[in-house]
Amino acid sequence: MMAIGEVIESTTAEFTAEARRYDQVPAYGSFVKVRDGNILIYGIVSGAYTGSMDGVSKAKAFFKSLEELKMEQPQIFELLRTEFSCVVVGYEEAGRYHPYYPPSHPGLHLPVEEADDLEVLTISQYLNYLDKTLNDPSGNGEELTAAVIRTTARLQTDPRAYVIKVGRELLRIMNYDTQRLKSVFERVDIV
């Protein structure tokens, strides 16, 4: 599988990767993996940013359609870059998934790939990822949690049963705050 990005910043809890192409970014709330030696570190895409290559200057508005721009000013697209951040949820070692942080954070410049459905299914059986998404440092915990529930639920044989199971766990994590739970589940359109 071709890498979709490369790790450019890494901590124990999250890492940031630069996308191979500025307009090719994994979906918000989807699962990615980084192979680091013997282990495979899994993360959930928790946000993305596209801006100028130098990180200082800003892109300029042209008020033209994207097609016109590509014809007239193709070079401006070469000056764009996209980064996406991921929260670490667990890792796999010797064929076994561990639903907690890996012994060491992912190294820089390692390729980032999308996780396949089977891997997502395995990870989704351990509901601890909810705790990590809900406490996402970017502050969009509820939004991210809803997104990841949408991602994981679709792969289940009985999505509704899975969503209920997830909901119950989430309610516990939220200290039985039903109002907060409601705000997450308003963004989960599986009935």
Q: How many residues bind other proteins (CB under 8 A)?
A: 18
Per CB under 8 A, the segment of 22-30, 38-46, 69-77, 164-172 that binds other proteins is 164-172
Among 12, 57, 138, 178, binds other proteins (CB under 8 A): 178
Interface with other proteins, residue 179, by CB under 8 A: yes
Per CB under 8 A, the segment of 38-46, 98-106, 140-148, 157-165 that binds other proteins is 157-165
Write down the least CB distance from residue 185 to other proteins, Å.
Answer: 6
Q: How far apart are CA 60 and CA 78, in angstroms?
A: 14
Q: How far apart are CA 152 and CA 140, in angstroms?
A: 18
Per CB under 8 A, the segment of 45-53, 87-95, 111-119, 168-176 that binds other proteins is 168-176
Among 21, 70, 154, 172, binds other proteins (CB under 8 A): 172
CA distances from 79 to 24, 57, 62, 110, 131 (A): 15, 10, 15, 23, 37
Interface with other proteins, residue 127, by CB under 8 A: no
Nearest CA to 86 among 13, 140, 20?
Answer: 13
Task: Give the three-class secondary structure for 111.
Answer: strand
Interface with other proteins, residue 182, by CB under 8 A: yes
Among 21, 109, 160, 187, binds other proteins (CB under 8 A): 160
Angle at 143 between CA 60 and CA 54, to 5 degrees: 25
CB atoms within 10 A of CB 77: 14
Contact 166, 153 (CB under 8 A): yes
Q: Which residues bind other proteins (CB under 8 A)?
A: 160, 163-164, 167-168, 171-172, 175-179, 181-182, 185, 188, 190-191
